[in-house]
Amino acid sequence: MNKPTRSSTRSPTRPMAPIGDADIRLLRVFRTVVECGGFSAAEVELNISRAAISQHMADLERRLGLTLCRRGRAGFRLTDEGHLAYEATMRLLASTESFRSEINTLHGRLRGELNIGITDNLVTMPQMRVTHALRGLKRLAPEVRVNIRMIPPNEIERGVLDGQLHVGVVPVRRGLPGLAGLPLYQEESQLYCGDGHPLFDRPEGAVTRGAVEAADAVAPTQAQLPHELNNTATATDREGVAFLILTGCYVGFLPTHYARQWVERGMMRALLPDTFHHALEFQVVTKKGAQPNLVLERFLDVLRGNGDGKGLGAELLLT
């Protein structure tokens, strides 16, 4: 680098405004010109014309209110202020690189918590998207602490809205204005009775709709069912419904994936499955306008199949 000259022309100016992206680009050009020793040598390095470099330098000098260099037949020389500006430029650009590296490190080693609320008895769903997404998050961010709460859908929604939960898995029931939903999967349910019920041992053709509708039934307190039954009992969750069905005294709706364990053991049977069935859509909900949360964003990315699950694979996430 040539020795800086002893004089420079300072342009009267106000204190410099905050640095922007355009300023950073000009400072990078300035750094390259200084390190190359002039405009001509910098042409190759920057892959732009000498005229463009000259224009960038002029723009930077106006922006800083300083004369940074002398250029002419005598060659390229920094002014005293140009020399000081170059040193400040190097410190600034080094800081931006350090910031970028630190942020990349944060993305590589996410820390914090993921508080998730889940409607009960979804773990037996064949479409294990939540399970696979939690596994992907663990692989990507092993230091993240996952806290799961198994609570009713209305409590999950309240928890997400008041910030106690980052994310929830709930049925699609009504649109709450403060929640954003991501479709998850559809759950099929059928009507069941247990061993010992009067309808349990009847042949398929001998079970009538009237007999089913007259039987004592258990209804979930958190959901509206599309079928009119003789509801003489209620339960707050699916496990409660299953308890009453297994008494042999009640019929009730259960998800097919949840009831399968008792059906295969001969303890339950489905009643008129072509008639008494319904589907329930599930979604992942988050709070609209919530503060940015890298852990939650990464979990949702993996859930959508957009994250790098290191072997998780979209074929697992989308089943």
Residue 7's Cβ-side half-sphere holds a number of Cα atoms within 13 Å equal to: 1
pLDDT value, residue 317: 31
Cite the DSSP H helix spans in the chain: 21-36, 39-46, 50-64, 80-108, 129-140, 153-161, 209-214, 238-245, 256-263, 294-304, 314-317
pLDDT value, residue 123: 67
Beta bridge partners of 66: 10
pLDDT value, residue 311: 37
Q: DSSP class of residue 5?
A: P
- Residue ranges of the chain with pLDDT lower than 70? 1-17, 74, 98, 100-108, 123-127, 174-175, 222-223, 306-319
Q: DSSP class of residue 10?
A: B
Do 21-108 and 112-319 share a fold?
no
Give per-residue pLDDT as tens, 275-298: 999 888 888 999 988 777 888 888
Q: Where are the domains of the chain?
A: 21-108, 112-319
pLDDT value, residue 112: 83
Beta-strand relationship, 277-287 and 167-171: antiparallel
pLDDT value, residue 106: 63
pLDDT value, residue 205: 87
| Cβ neighbours of residue 2 closer than 8 Å, sequence gap 6 or more | 37, 75, 76, 77, 78
Give per-residue pLDDT as tens, 228-243: 899 999 998 888 999 9
3-state secondary structure of 239: helix
pTM of the model: 0.54
Cite the DSSP H helix spans in 71-205: 80-108, 129-140, 153-161
- Tell me the CATH number for domain 112-319: 3.40.190.290
Q: Which fold has domain 21-108?
A: Arc Repressor Mutant, subunit A (1.10.10)
∠ CA 178-183-186 to the nearest 5 degrees? 130
